[in-house]
Amino acid sequence: MTQAGNKVALVTGAARGIGRALAVGFSEAGYDVAISDLKSQIDGLQETQAAIERNGRAAYLQTMDVSDKKDVQSAVKRVLSEAKHIDVLINNAGILRPSTLDVLSEEDFDATMNINVKGLLFCCQAVLPSMQARRAGSIINIASIAGRGGIPTQGHYAASKASVITLTRVLSQEVGTFGIRVNAICPGVIVTEMGRKVLGTEEQQRHWMSLAALSRLGDPQDLIGPALFLSSEQSAYVTGQALNVCGGTSFD
Ligand SMILES: NC(=O)c1ccc[n+]([C@@H]2O[C@H](COP(=O)([O-])OP(=O)(O)OC[C@H]3O[C@@H](n4cnc5c(N)ncnc54)[C@H](O)[C@@H]3O)[C@@H](O)[C@H]2O)c1
């Protein structure tokens, strides 16, 4: 399947999980892909890079910490000098540190907001000037169904993802006249390293499955089709929206 032409997607948090699935899935669809993650995740990033190259596409690898504005600015600059343009930005990097709110540490609150919200904003700010100059682009922010209503032990995470949905709505209104679309995807429970933090016991797994209309947990691959749709001309009139990809767990 090739639908991309000469397009480049930048995926943050691409060393594993949903980010890797999206990066490789986009390369299968004909995109060249710029991949980034923390320096400590270089081995995983290189595995993602090899999978993209096996699909015959270019993989531009950059390490960056999304919560470090300078790091983000210089990594995006390097991607732009190599790849020349970024057509799609997928803000996927994120953390979940479960804790009830009564004992939530200031450190975990700050880290969650710094990475999930501020980091996402820094990536948008770094990529937007080049998209504005070309008067085209699609930004996809990975939020969560937790951001719709909240889930016990995920109050701070849910608040960060609600912020992602709000930033998505406002940014779409600010950059729409440049031909740039901004949408969010709200995954349900997806089986990744992060997902396993929520799943824990077999009983919890059965519980989450029973909450989904499709009676199953999500796989990282389940995010590829929706993200390709939001990146493509097929969704040319869709912006500022948050699409649940959760097997029918949330209906908000
Ligand atoms: N797995 C789920 O059930 C689920 C559900 C809803 C939303 N999400 C969201 O999907 C996204 C991906 O989650 P996942 O399940 O693949 O998680 P994951 O933990 O498997 O992967 C997250 C990736 O982000 C990277 N990352 C973390 N902090 C970073 C930073 N400061 N700078 C750069 N990279 C950083 C990690 O190194 C890792 O490679 C996250 O935004 C997450 O909140 C996941």
Residue to substitute in 95, 117, 224 for testing ligand 1 pocket (most ligand atoms within 8 angstroms of CB): 95
Give nearest CA residue, ligand 1 atom 21.
17
Q: Give the Å distance between the CA of 228 and the centre of ligand 1.
A: 19
Q: What is the dihedral of CA 12, 22, 189, 234, to 10 degrees?
A: 110
H helix and E strand count, the chain:
10, 7
Q: Measured from the CB, is residue 192 less than 6 Å from ligand 1?
A: yes
Q: Phi, psi (5° rounding) for residue 118?
A: -65, -40
Please give the distance, rounded to the nearest whole angstrom, from the Cα atom of residue 177 to the centre of ligand 1: 31
What tens-digit pLDDT sequence spans the chain (252 residues)? 445 779 999 999 999 999 999 999 999 999 999 999 999 999 999 999 999 999 999 999 999 999 999 999 999 999 999 999 999 999 999 999 999 999 999 999 999 999 999 999 999 999 999 999 999 999 999 999 999 999 999 999 999 999 999 999 999 999 999 999 999 999 999 999 999 988 888 898 999 999 999 999 999 999 999 999 999 999 999 999 999 999 999 999
Looking at ligand 1, which atom is closest to the CA of residue 96?
A: 43
Residue whose Cα lies nearest atom 43 of ligand 1: it is 94
Q: Does domain 8-191+220-245 have CATH number 3.60.21.10?
A: no
* Residue 92, both tokens: 């996927």
Cα 99 from Cα 174, distance rounded (Å): 35
Q: Which residues in 13-42 are b (16+ Cβ under 10 Å) and which e? A: bbbbbbbbbbbbbbbbbbbbbbbbbbeebe
- Cα 86–chain centre separation: 15
